[in-house]
Amino acid sequence: MRRPDLHPDVETMLAGLEAGFPDVTQYPAAELRQIIVSRRAPLTRTPDMDVAQDVVIDGPGGDLTLRVYVPHGELDSPRPVIVFAHGGGFVFCDLDSHDEFCRSMAEAVNAVVVAVDYRLAPENPAPAAMEDMYAALCWTVENVKSYGGDPARVAVAGDSAGGNLSATVSLAARERGGPAVAAQILLYPVLGDDFDTESYRQYGVGYYNTTKAMRWYWDQYAPQGRDSELVVPTRASTLAGLPPALVATAELDPPCSEGEAFAERLAAEGVPVLAHRFDGLFHGFLTFPQLSLTGPAREELWQLVRRILDPAFCDGHIEDPRTRAATRP
């Protein structure tokens, strides 16, 4: 039984998703990917980009494909850059599944976006996907100038599992003395494997993303253990010294509580944080542009992304009805 106070459009979409999305735990990964691709709408390749180019680089597991998006517009100064990891439970989705979202983000934020076609689980268990993200980050810093991007302002971003990869690659860059990450943009991120948080208890059934599915995703991605901070970022001994973070959660999402707790911990350990919860919305909603509430929510998100990418972003404490931010002064 879902909450009775949901927006009618949210209720309608959740009902459709609950009825039509496969039970991921009942299929082998390869078959599951085929099912999901078969239900995907054709690519629209909108909004139009000045450049939308696939680039193959040398990755730690072989060829690694990146898709570089450059928006239209006069270039007065180099654009900020976002290296993006898609969601999909570490098991499915790809460059095409998030093509419209990446294009929309590039246009709205006026940024170069580099999407990463990282290796998927269970064929490639953790930390393979994170290592691909790290390789993409290094390539981007070295090469994005030729696309009009600013190599000194390269952020990482991702939704769901991609949020995990953005958080863990930020930790890896810190520990390895790697590229300086300008910001980490975590969109309803999957950060831990505690299935007894408040949001798991409240929204683990009936809201599209389920506790059962989340357990399965973790079992596919990290079957050999989850002790490493490069797999489960909440296990890091310290978050100090990480890049500024935008943590956007969805109220009706089982991982919502862990995202909010991670934002609070980042702030407590001295990392500038913008934390925003999208009330009344569910996991994955940002990639459902047909939902009436997604457009306005994206506009809020783009404002927050522009702010976290602004070199003038500084510590402070912000609270208003829409944005719950906690940063250390």
Q: Which residues are catalytic?
A: 160, 253, 283
Secondary structure (3-state) at 320: coil
DSSP symbols for 286-314: GG-TTSTTHHHHHHHHHHHHHHHHSTT--
**Contact predicate 314/325, CB 8 Å:** no
CA distance 37 to 34: 5
Size of the chain in residues: 329
Strand segments, DSSP code E, in 9-148 are 51-59, 62-70, 79-85, 112-116
**Contact call for residues 252 and 246 (beta carbons, < 8 A):** no
Q: Which helix (H) or strand (E) holds 155?
A: strand 149-159
| Closest to 161 (Cα-Cα) out of 125, 186, 184, 138 | 186
Contacts of 113 (CB under 8 A, 6+ apart): 68, 69, 81, 82, 84, 102, 103, 105, 106
Give the side-chain half-sphere CA count within 13 A for 72: 4
Cα radius of gyration (the chain): 18
- Label the pairing between strands 184-187 and 149-159: parallel
Half-sphere exposure of 139 (CA within 13 A, CB side): 23
Q: What are the angstrom distances between the C-alpha of 49 and each of 21, 56, 249?
A: 31, 19, 28
For residue 77, which amino acid is it? S
- Cβ atoms of 217 and 190 within 8 Å: the answer is yes
